[in-house]
Amino acid sequence: MSVMTYRDALNEALKEEMERDPDVFLMGEEVAEYDGAYKVSKGLLDQFGEQRVVDSPISELGFAGLGVGAAMVGLRPVIEFMTFNFAFLALDQIINNASKLHYMSNGQFRVPIVFRGPSGAALQLAAQHSQACETYYSHAPGCKVVTPGTPADAKGLLKAAIRDDDPVAFMEGELLYNFSDEVPDDDDFVIPLGVADLKREGSDISIVTHGKMIHVALQAASKLEKEGVEADVLDLRTIRPLDMDAILETVAKTNRVVYVEEGWPYAGTGSQIVTMIQEEAFDHLDAPVLRVTQADVPMPYAKGLEGAAKPSAESVLKACRQVLYR
């Protein structure tokens, strides 16, 4: 095991996959000369050259479409958005083309493409640059959605996403790039898409989450331990495909569930997952499933209001106590 940052884990995954497969290339805003807005592509231009590490104009719809076309003829593009907030401008290419062409062509075309970049709130980036975007993409059949919360997951899942024959929206935590943790040294370390990971084991309550909210959930679980409550903390890692077996297993074990997500409550990812739990595991539940989300408002700029709007360990703790009838 080596200790590395989330940023370096992503960089290593890109480097290894570009070495492994000459059809893989990286394109996006500032990915070449500037090493990427968050320095994820540092050193790749020098190693692979300007044919495979390509700076794009500030035209998300345009370079996303170029990537889709390249994928249709056999290449494996990795398209970097400076932030997934900007990827809204490319939704036509991602949802109407990349996600549907395999179906619309009756299997004649594959679109092996990764759209990656930061998602969710950082610090005082306000309403237009602080959105957790996974729900927009997971709603569409044909698009896989990945939300790694640790350096190891970032590396292993990005490698799997690049090798996948379907389009993948790969959403990185904007506040995680400097987060360090252990990563396996194996240069073929790949985590299959659609497999959840139990980050902490308990028997009293299940906290289910994904992305950088895994760290909020673990903080809440540590506080619960001081109250004599042991929490299962399940990191979904992939929103679509969803590891429903892992969710049902933790529900059957603890009988109480809190779902934590960074996005808004209305029609959020948690709405779908809670519905599936109550459809498939209702008899295991000893209490209603509760969700912890961002407040149902555009993200405020003011620091105090921003903190109040974000999900926190305290808000997760409050929901857990409610589910435990404490």
Q: What are phi and psi of 244, to 5 degrees?
A: -65, -30
| Structure-block tokens of residue 38 | 């968050």
Contacts of 247 (CB under 8 A, 6+ apart): 196, 208, 234, 236, 273, 276, 277, 281
> Is 307 buried (19+), middle (13-18) or exposed (0-12) by CB count in 10 A?
exposed
Query: Residue 27: which of 73, 60, 74, 72 has the closest Cα?
Result: 60
| Structure-block tokens of residue 189 | 């370390």
Please measure the distance between the N-terminal and C-terminal CA atoms of the chain and give it in whole angstroms. Answer: 41
Determine whether 129 is an active site residue: yes
Quote the DSSP letter at residue 31: S
Q: Is the distance from CB of 54 to CB of 27 less than 8 angstroms?
A: yes
Q: Is the distance from CB of 8 to CB of 158 less than 8 angstroms?
A: no
| Structure-block tokens of residue 129 | 């640059």
The one catalytic residue in 12, 17, 60, 172 is: 60
- What whole-number distance in Å separates Cα of residue 26 and Cα of residue 277? 38
In the sheet with 238-240, reading across from the earlier edge strand, the strands are 53-55, 24-28, 76-80, 114-119, 168-173, 144-146, 238-240
Determine whether 80 is an active site residue: no
The one catalytic residue in 30, 129, 225, 230 is: 129
Query: Residue 28: which of 15, 14, 16, 41 has the closest Cα?
Result: 41
| Structure-block tokens of residue 114 | 């990764």
- Residues recognised as catalytic: 60, 129
